[in-house]
Structure 1
Amino acid sequence: MDDGPAGDFARPSRLGAALLVSAFVVATCGLIYELLAGTLASYLLGDSVTQFSIVIGTYLFAMGIGSWCSRYVKRDELAVFVRVEILIAAIGGASAAVLFLLFDRVADFRIPLYGLVLVIGALVGLEIPLLMRILKDRLEFGDLVSKVLTFDYVGALAASLLFPLLLVPQLGLMRTGFLFGLANVAVAIALILMLPGKRRLRTELIVGILVAVGLATGFIVSEKLQRAAEVGVYGDPILYAASTPYQRVVITKRAGDLRLYLNGNLQFSSRDEYRYHEALVHPVMSRARNPRNVLVLGGGDGLAVREILKYPGVASVTLVDLDPEMTSLFRNSAMLAALNHDAFHSPKVHVINADAFLWLRENQRRFDAVLVDFPDPTNFAIGKLYTVSFYRELARALAPGAVVSVQSTSPLVAPRAYWTVATTLEAAGLITRGYHVYVPSFGEWGFVLASNEPIGRPGPLPSGLRFLTPQTDALAFTFPPDMARRSVPVNRLDNQALVREFEAEWAVYEG
C-alpha cells in the first residue's frame, strides 16, 4: 500500500493510525467548542433553549459549508489539514475568553457569537472530508468510512459526557476552551513531526508552537481573564466566582451592597433582600395552622431560613437545594453567614443537597409550611419545578392546615408567566391566592400562596420585621389592571408553557 497523495509522508500504518486518532480529537474538540458557545450564550443572553437551538443549527450549517468548500482543495491535503487544525485551535480555544471579554464591549453580542460559531463550524466541516481523502489510499473504502465515522462519533460522545460532568465543574468555560485548543494544536504539531518532509511545513510548525504557547498561557491566566470579563458584565468588584457542577456563582460587592448572581441572573442584593424574603416567608408562616415542621425548596443562601427561625414554635426546617457548594458557601463564609444570621448552624436546620423534583417524589414526610424559592424558569431544567407534576407531589407533602408560598416572577413584567404559576398550582388541586410586593432590585415581584384547604387570615407577625406589616400584607393581595389575572395554559412537563411565556415577556421588557 503506498502513501497516496502525500508521497513523502511517514509509514502508512503509523501515519494512518495518527490520522484516525486525529478524527477522534477533531470530533471531541469541535463539539466542545459548540457546547461552549451554547452555554455561554445561555449564561449571557438567557433563554437557553433558543440559544442552544440557534448555536447548534448555525454550527451544523457551517459544517455543511466547510464540507462543500473542501472540494476546492486539490492537492497537499495533509498540509491543508494541519493548517486548519492550527486555525481551529487558535479560534476555538480562545473562543470562550473572547466572547466573555466582548460581551459588554459590543453593541450586539450575537454578531461575534454566531460569527465565531460559523467560522469554527466551517473549519470543522472542512476537516473530515480532508481526512477521508488523505486516508483513501491507506484504507479500503468500507474501512475508511466506518473507522473515520466511528472515531468521529466516539469523540462526540466523549465531549458530551466530559463537558457537563467534569470540564465545566472543574475547569470552567475559559479553561475548557484553552485545553481543547491545545489538544487541536497538539494533533497538528504531532503530524508535522511525523513527516520526513516536514521542512516544507516549518512555518506551520513555528505557528503551531506559538499558538500552543498562547493557549497554555491563556489556560494559566484564565481565572484572571474570567474575573476581568465578569467585572465588565456585572459592573461591580467580584468577591467570589466559581463554577459548580450546576451553575456559575458570582458574588459582587460595592459600597456595602453584596449581590449574588447565578448564571448571570441576580438572585439578591443585600440592600433590599429583606423585602423579598419577608414577603416570601411571613405570609405563609402567619397563615399556616401550626408551622412546626417547615420545608424550603431552593433558597440555598439561607435567607428564607433566617426568616423562618424568627418563629420560636418552629421545631425543624428542612432545606432541599441542588448545589452543595452553594449551601456550603453560605454556611462557612463569615461574611455570607452574617447575612443569614448563621441559619445553617442552627440545630433546627437540616440541609439536603438533592434535586427537589426527585427528592419530593421519594419524600414520605408532611410539612406544616413550605417555601418554594427556585430561580426563575429560564430553561426546561428549572421549568420542570413549576409543572403540575411537581405541584401534585408538593400537595401530597402538605400536612392539614399547611400553606405554600411560591416565588413566581414579576406580575408586572411577565403577567402571563406569573398567572401560569397560579393556574398550574390550581390544576394540581391546590387553592391559591396571589400577592406581590415591590423590591427595588427586581421591581414589582410576585408570589403565590397555595394550600389543600381554603387559606385563612394571617396571624401575628414576629417583631423586628423591616418591611412586612399587617397593612402591607393586606395590600399585597390587591392587583391593579396591568397585573390582573390572564387566561393562560397549565405548565406541564410535555409543554413547558411557562418557560416560553417567561422568555417572551422578559425579552420584550429587556428589549
Structure 2
Amino acid sequence: MMHGEINQPNHNYINPDSPPDKNLYLNKSQRRVLLLAAAVSSGSGLAVELLLGNLASYLTGNQALAYGISVGGFLAAMGLGSYLTQYIATTSQGQQLQRELLLAVTCVELAIAPLTAILPLGLFALFVSDGAMLWQALFIVTIILGTLAGMEVPIMVRILELSDNMRQAIAGVLALDYLGGLVGSLGFPLLFLPWLGMFPTAFVLGAFPALMVSMMGRLFPKIRRLGYIGLILGILLFTAAPITIPFSNNLENNLYNAPVIKRVQSRFQRIVLTRKGQDVRLFLDGDLQFSTIDEYRYHEALVHPAMSATPNHQNVLVLGAGDGMAVREILKWQDVKKVTLIELDPEMIKIATRYPQIASTNAHSLQDPRVQVINADAFTTAPELPDIYNVIIADFPDPDRDNLAKLYSEGFYRRLITRLADDGILVTQASSPFFTPKVISCINTTIAATGLKTHPYVIDVPSFGVWGYVLASRHQLDPSQLQLQVPTRYLTTSLLQHIFDLPKDIQLVQTQVNRLSQPVIVRYQMQTRT
C-alpha cells in the first residue's frame, strides 16, 4: 500500500454469520410462507417443464428434442433470471430494500401465474394452425417461464438474509426448493396429468404462485394490495381450469379427419378414438394404431404366420396389443389353452372391454377365460414370467421415442427369448418398410444378433400402406410349407407362403444393432423416405 493511502472498508461485504438487523426481523409465519413459496415455485416450475416436454412430444413425436428444449431451455433461462436479479434494488437499504424485494418477488409470481396457464394452450393452438413454428415457439415459452422462475429463489434469499444470517437463508430456501422440485416431478405424471389433463393442469399450476402471493399479502402489510390481486387471480385460474377442456378438445378435433368420440389422458399416453360412419380409429399420442375397416389385415398378418410356423400353440404371450384384436386372432386356434397379455396402460384395457364398437370388433376376446391380462411394463415383466411360451407376439407402437426403443433392443430380445420354447416363434411388428426402410432392417439385424433365424415379411393395409413384420425362430423355417388352418378375411395359404417374398422396392439394408445404450432405431424411425 502506498504511503498515506487509507484502507477503505468494503460496504458491499456481508459476513455470512453476522447478526441480522432487528428492524427487518421476520416472524415465524412470515419466514415459513417465504420458504413455502420457494417450494411451490420449484414444484410448479419443474411440473411446467415436464408439461411442456410432454405437450411437444405428443404433438411432434420427437421426445428427445421436446424434452431437450423444454428442460434444457428452462434451466438455461433460470440461470439468466438469477443473473438479472443482481440489478433489482441495487441502491436501497434497510426497510426500503425489504419493501422493494418483496414487491419484486410478488410481481414475478403474479407474472408467472397467468403465463404458466396460457402459454401451453397457446402452443397447442399454434401447432394446430401452423405446426412448422412449434419448436421456435416452445423455445420462446421456455425462455420466458424459465427466466421468471430463475428470479424467484435469489430474491427470496435476499429477503431472508435481511432477517436471518446468510447461511440460514440459503440453507432454508434451497432445502425447500429441492423438496418442491421432487413434489412437482412426481405430482405431474402421477396426479395432475392423469386426473386433470394437460391444460387444466397448466391452469392449476399457474394458480399456485398466485395463491402464494395472496398468503404473503396477508402476512406482509407492505404488499397487502398485491395479495388481493393474487387471490383474485388464483381463483380465476382455478375456475377457468375446467373451461380449457372443451376449448382444447375443439383444437384437438382439428388434428383428426373424423369426429373425436372418446379421449382419455392416462398416465402413459393420450388415447383418442374417432369415428366416421363405421370407421372407428384408435390413436395413441397422435399416431394411428388401427382402423376398424381394415384392422383385420394387420392383425391376421401379425398372428397367423407365427401360429402357422409351429405345431404347438398351447401357451401364447402377447406384448402390447391391449386393443384385443391380436388376441381375437389367436383364439381362433382351437388348441390354445392360455393367452397372457401384458399391456402397460389399464385405460387401454378399459376401452377394449367397455367401449361397444371396440369390444365387438375384438369379439370380446379379453373376456375369454383363457386370457390373462397383466397391466405392467413388458420390458421388465415379460422376461421374468415363469412360463415358457410357444408363440410370443410383440405389438408395440413404432419406436419413435427412447422409451419405446428399448422394446426393440438386443438386450430385451435376449431376455425375452429365454421364455420361448425350443420350437417356438417370435414375431414383432416392424413399422412401414416403404417410408422407414431402415426400421425393419434394424429390427431384423437386432433379432438376428441374438442368434435367432429371422424372416421379414410385408403386407398391405389400406390405412397404413405397406407394413412390415419380422418373424424369428431358433430353427430355419420353410415358408412354402406354412398352412393356414383357421378362418380369415384376408390371408390365404397361398398368400401366407409368399408374403416373405419382399418387393423389389423394399429390401433390407445394412444397419446397426439397436441397443439400450445406443437406441439407433429412433433415428431410423425419423429418417422417412420423401
The TM-score bracket by the shorter chain reads over 0.9
Amino acid at match of 1:186: L
Shift of 1:281: 1.0
CA–CA separation in structure 1 for the residues paired with 2:487 and 2:382: 33
Shift of 1:40: 0.8
Which of 109, 113, 123 aligns to 2:138? It is 113
CA–CA separation in structure 1 for the residues paired with 2:235 and 2:386: 57
CA–CA separation in structure 1 for the residues paired with 2:398 and 2:250: 27
CA deviation digits over 1:469-496, x for unaligned, max 9? 2343344222245421111111111112
CA deviation digits over 1:255-281, x for unaligned, max 9? 221111112211111122111111111
CA deviation digits over 1:205-264, x for unaligned, max 9? 454344223311222223323422321223432211112222221111122211111122
Alignment RMSD (CA, Å):
2.0
Cα 1:11–1:304 shift into 2, 3 Å: same
CA–CA separation in structure 2 for the residues paired with 1:166 and 1:212: 20
Q: Does residue 472 of structure 1 match 2:495?
A: yes
SS class of match (1:221): helix
**Does the CA contact (< 8 Å) of 1:241 and 1:250 recur in 2?**
yes
Amino acid at match of 1:494: S
Q: Does residue 16 of structure 1 match 2:31?
A: yes
Which of 116, 125, 139 aligns to 2:164? It is 139
Shift of 1:2: 4.1
SS class of match (1:438): strand
* Residue of structure 2 equivalent to 1:35: 50
Q: Does residue 189 of structure 1 match 2:211?
A: no
Amino acid at match of 1:359: T
* Residue of structure 1 equivalent to 2:68: 53
Cα 1:128–1:327 shift into 2, 3 Å: same
* Residue of structure 2 equivalent to 1:87: 111
CA deviation digits over 1:166-223, x for unaligned, max 9? 222222222222222111100112212322234xx63x44543442233112222233
CA deviation digits over 1:95-150, x for unaligned, max 9? 33333333212342223222211110011112122212222211111111111111
CA–CA separation in structure 2 for the residues paired with 1:291 and 1:232: 44
The 5 A counterparts of 1:451-490 are 451-457=473-479, 458-462=481-485, 464-490=487-513
CA–CA separation in structure 2 for the residues paired with 1:365 and 1:455: 24
Could you state the TM-score of these two structures normalised by the residue count of structure 1?
A: 0.93
* Residue of structure 2 equivalent to 1:26: 41
CA–CA separation in structure 1 for the residues paired with 2:293 and 2:22: 71
SS class of match (1:467): coil
Which of 517, 526, 529 aligns to 1:494? It is 517
Amino acid at match of 2:300: E
Amino acid at match of 2:493: P
CA–CA separation in structure 1 for the residues paired with 2:169 and 2:35: 9
* Residue of structure 1 equivalent to 2:13: none
Q: Does residue 374 of structure 1 match 2:396?
A: yes
**Does the CA contact (< 8 Å) of 2:352 and 2:359 recur in 1?**
yes
SS class of match (1:103): helix
* Residue of structure 2 equivalent to 1:267: 289
Which of 216, 224, 233 aligns to 2:238? It is 216
CA–CA separation in structure 1 for the residues paired with 2:345 and 2:227: 45
Shift of 1:42: 0.9
**Does the CA contact (< 8 Å) of 2:333 and 2:486 recur in 1?**
no
**Does the CA contact (< 8 Å) of 1:395 and 1:451 recur in 2?**
no
Could you state the TM-score of these two structures normalised by the residue count of structure 2?
A: 0.89
* Residue of structure 2 equivalent to 1:401: 423
**Does the CA contact (< 8 Å) of 2:26 and 2:163 recur in 1?**
no
Q: Does residue 305 of structure 1 match 2:330?
A: no
Amino acid at match of 2:239: T
The 5 A counterparts of 1:262-411 are 262-411=284-433
CA deviation digits over 1:330-357, x for unaligned, max 9? 1122221011011112222221222212
CA–CA separation in structure 2 for the residues paired with 1:338 and 1:452: 36
Which of 200, 204, 214 aligns to 1:179? It is 204
Cα 1:66–1:473 shift into 2, 3 Å: same
* Residue of structure 2 equivalent to 1:104: 128
SS class of match (1:217): helix
Amino acid at match of 1:192: G
**Does the CA contact (< 8 Å) of 1:246 and 1:323 recur in 2?**
yes
The 5 A counterparts of 1:438-449 are 438-449=460-471
SS class of match (1:197): helix
CA–CA separation in structure 2 for the residues paired with 1:184 and 1:197: 18
**Structure 1 stretches of 5 or more lacking a match?**
none
* Residue of structure 2 equivalent to 1:66: 81
* Residue of structure 2 equivalent to 1:246: 268
Amino acid at match of 2:107: R
Shift of 1:388: 1.3
Shift of 1:35: 0.7
Alignment: residue pair count: 500
Shift of 1:422: 0.7
Shift of 1:3: 7.0
**Does the CA contact (< 8 Å) of 1:324 and 1:353 recur in 2?**
yes
Is the deviation greater in 467-476 or in 113-122? 467-476
**Structure 2 stretches of 5 or more lacking a match?**
1-19, 90-96
CA–CA separation in structure 1 for the residues paired with 2:30 and 2:472: 67
**Does the CA contact (< 8 Å) of 1:416 and 1:501 recur in 2?**
yes
CA deviation digits over 1:303-353, x for unaligned, max 9? 011111222232222211112221122112222101101111222222122
**Does the CA contact (< 8 Å) of 1:2 and 1:12 recur in 2?**
no
SS class of match (1:433): strand
Q: Does residue 165 of structure 1 match 2:178?
A: no
CA–CA separation in structure 1 for the residues paired with 2:173 and 2:257: 47
**Does the CA contact (< 8 Å) of 1:63 and 1:124 recur in 2?**
yes
Shift of 1:431: 0.5
CA deviation digits over 1:31-50, x for unaligned, max 9? 11111001111111112122
Shift of 1:463: 5.5
SS class of match (1:109): helix
CA–CA separation in structure 2 for the residues paired with 1:261 and 1:452: 35
Cα 1:410–1:110 shift into 2, 3 Å: same
CA–CA separation in structure 1 for the residues paired with 2:367 and 2:71: 45
CA–CA separation in structure 1 for the residues paired with 2:123 and 2:331: 44
